[in-house]
Amino acid sequence: MSTITIHSISDQDLVQKYIIGHEPSLEELIRRHKAKIYTSIYLLVKDSYLAEDIFQETFIKVINTLKAGKYNEEGKFLPWVIRIAHNLVIDHFRKEKRKPVVTTVDGFDIFEVIKFYDDSTEEKIIREQTHKDLRELIHHLPSDQKEVLIMRHFGELSFKEISDITGVSINTALGRMRYALNNLRKMMLTKELSLKNI
Amino acid sequence: MIEISTPKTHSLQQTAVNKDIHTEDLNEEDQSFYTAIKPCLNAMATNPSQDTISNLVNYSKSI
């Protein structure tokens, strides 16, 4: 007897099942990729409420496209959704007539809820502070470099996929990633942040 | 004896493909640094609210 669960079904098969009316497939696709997509959006817009809105708008487009039978089966699901989210972020900044800029986080920081129960209190404090500092450094990266780093890490996209989404060559996308890492390394040296505390 | 040779054009195409694959790689130093900061990047991952997900599921069922 087959014991295949919905969790073991590929994205492509879930998409096909959803298109023919299997609603739980959509829930599984969202569950599977929500953190990657939401975090990618959040790190670009730096506003949790706005990120929620763009995440929702992204999936409304996904749902509408799939239900209309307009999905291109040749593409992978996650890069396709990241592309939609990326375009909506760009649209947002165009509407606001400003580019993603770096600002200091005021008020509640959603990442402060991260816990490290296995560490000593001192280690925990140092690690949390290092993570916080590194997050700030990432926000200080030029937007094109930050964009590639986020897509590569959270979207798990190849440089080819990133180049398709951002409209640059593969080498430019790769170069931006290298600059991002190099800039982070330099900023960490300046801030005297140690990798051993990560 | 049958001699099998690779057409020159094929060889060139293969070189181009290999070059593309190669350019997808970070160099060792960059990759090492990236690997080192991955735990911090992973710790940054967060989720949308359950309300947002429920809204999407309900929207999908409504159309």
- Matching residue, tokens 């990729």: A33
Q: What's the pTM value of the predicted model, to 2 decimals? A: 0.75
The reply to whether B8 falls in a domain is: no
Q: How many domains does chain B have?
A: 1
**CA of A96 to nearest chain B CA: how many angstroms apart?**
23
Q: Look at residue B59 and tell me if it is in a domain.
A: yes
Judge whether A23 and B60 are in contact, CB under 8 Å: yes
Residue A98 DSSP code: S
User: For chain A, where are the alpha helices, taking DSSP H only?
Assistant: 11-19, 23-45, 48-67, 77-95, 121-139, 143-153, 159-166, 170-190
- ipTM for the predicted complex: 0.74
Query: What are the Cα distances from residue A81, in Å, to A3, A14, A65, A84, A88?
Result: 29, 14, 11, 5, 11
Q: Is residue B32 part of a domain?
A: yes
Of the ranges A26-30, A66-70, A156-160, which is most confident? A26-30
Show the domain range for B40. Answer: 28-63
Query: Higher model confidence: residue A29 or residue A103?
Result: A29
Distance between CA B14 and CA A172 in Å, rounded? 22
Task: Say yes or no for a CB contact (<8 Å) between A39 and B40.
Answer: no
Task: For A52-93, write each residue's pLDDT tens digit.
Answer: 999 999 999 999 999 998 888 677 899 999 999 999 999 998
Residue B1 lies in a domain: no
Task: Please report whether residue B62 resides in a domain.
Answer: yes
B47 lies in a domain? yes
Under a CB-based contact definition with an 8 Å cutoff, are residues A149 and A139 in contact?
A: no
B22 located within any domain: no
Contact A184/B36, CB-based, under 8 Å? Answer: no
How do residues A89-144 score in pLDDT, each as one tens digit? Answer: 999 988 886 545 444 444 433 344 333 344 566 677 777 787 788 888 888 999 99
Q: Where in chain A is the domain with CATH 1.10.1740.10?
A: 8-100
Arithmetic mean of pLDDT over chain A: 84
Rounded-to-10 torsion of CA A175, A178, A183, A188? 170
Tokens of A82: 């990241």
CATH code, A8-100: 1.10.1740.10
CATH code of domain A102-198: 1.10.10.10
Q: Per the structure block, which two tokens stand in for A188?
A: 């960490």
Angle, nearest 10°, between helix axes A77-95 and A48-67? 130
DSSP for chain B reads -------HHHHHHHHHHHHHHHHTSPPHHHHHHHHHHHHHHHHT-----HHHHHHHHHHHHH-
Is residue B44 domain-resident?
yes
Q: Does A17 touch chain B (CB under 8 A)?
A: no
Residue of chain A minimizing CA distance to B60: A63
Under DSSP, is residue A92 helix (H, G, I), strand (E, B) or coil?
Answer: helix
- Give the pLDDT band (50/70/90) at residue B20: very low
Place of tokens 């670009």: A44
User: Residue B48 and residue A38: Cβ atoms within 8 Å?
Assistant: yes
